[in-house]
Amino acid sequence: MDHAIVLFDGDCNFCDSSVQFIINHDPAGYFQFASLQSEIGEKLAREHNIPEDVDSLVLIEDGKAYVKSEGALRISHHLTGLWKLAYHLRPFPAAIRDGAYDIIANNRYKVFGKLNSCMLPPPHIRKRFLDK
């Protein structure tokens, strides 16, 4: 697969910031994006048996879906700079990694708020969004 897809909560400021972070550290354009609330996001979530109440970025790569820390660490593997090193946290038990991930995910609206509108990316970035 030439691209991986990141599904994200389109209402969450933290998720929006995470997408911006990925875009800024993915100059090769490996990742494409879709909001979980979009038609294509809902379709992909159903196809990959992702629960409707997922509170995680979802990475779809090579036909498999990854959530929580596994998704985040797999994303980091493709980023530029020192962020690649985060991938080496994978040997830590998933329960510990996901526990830390859940703390952030469960408090993301309280800490980072909700979006009233989405950013409008420039055309060269917009083509990476599947739910244009």
Instruction: Please report whether residue 132 resides in a domain.
Output: no
Instruction: Please report whether residue 131 resides in a domain.
Output: no
Instruction: Please report whether residue 15 resides in a domain.
Output: yes
Q: Which of 55, 59, 48, 54 lies closest to 26 in space, CA to CA?
A: 59
Instruction: Please report whether residue 62 resides in a domain.
Output: yes
pLDDT in tens, the chain (132 residues): 589 999 988 765 666 778 888 998 999 999 999 988 899 999 999 999 998 878 778 999 999 999 888 998 999 999 998 888 888 888 888 888 888 767 766 665 565 555 555 555 666 777 787 875
pLDDT score recorded for residue 78: 94
Q: Give the chain's domain count.
A: 1
Instruction: Find the domain containing 91 and state its range.
Output: 4-126
Alpha-carbon distances, residue 29 vs 3, 49, 90, 100 (angstroms):
8, 26, 23, 28
